[in-house]
Amino acid sequence: MRSHIPNCVFQANNKITRLALRNLPNAQQAVQMYQQDQQGRISENSKFGEDPIQTDNSKLSIRTQAFIERYPSYEQIFFELVNNANPTLFKSGLIFYIDLTYRLSMS
């Protein structure tokens, strides 16, 4: 079963190659492999993808205003990313947004 882990396939072949979907484990198998082979732990109850301030309108307003003051617009960020292949504005905006959300959720 270990031979289906992409890193092991890469190391065995010493090259990058496409993997057939049938060679990839499903989510449950991947968790089991990670826990057994790597002695890893995975928290199954995650709040990933949830906005921690989604129910606090005042914090949402603060975040929106702070973002608008610092960055031109979402449209400009994505225009730079897609048309100019410049990820700098997107990366800094994303990091700012995540950090600001975290700080607001802790206050």
End-to-end CA distance of the chain: 46
pLDDT over 70 (residue 6): no
Confidence of residue 98 (pLDDT cuts 50, 70, 90): very high
Strands (E), 14-105: none
Work out the percent of the chain whose per-residue pLDDT is above 90. Answer: 38
Q: What digits encode the pLDDT tens for the residues 49-64?
A: 889 999 999 999 999 9
pLDDT (average), residues 72-86: 87
Q: Residue 29: which of 4, 54, 66, 57 has the closest Cα?
A: 4
Q: Which residue has the higher pLDDT, 43 or 81?
A: 81
Give per-residue burial for 12-35: e unless 16+ CB within 10 Å, then b: eeeeeeeeeeeeeeeeeeeeebee
Model pLDDT, residue 3 = 53
Domain segments of the chain as ranges:
2-37, 57-106
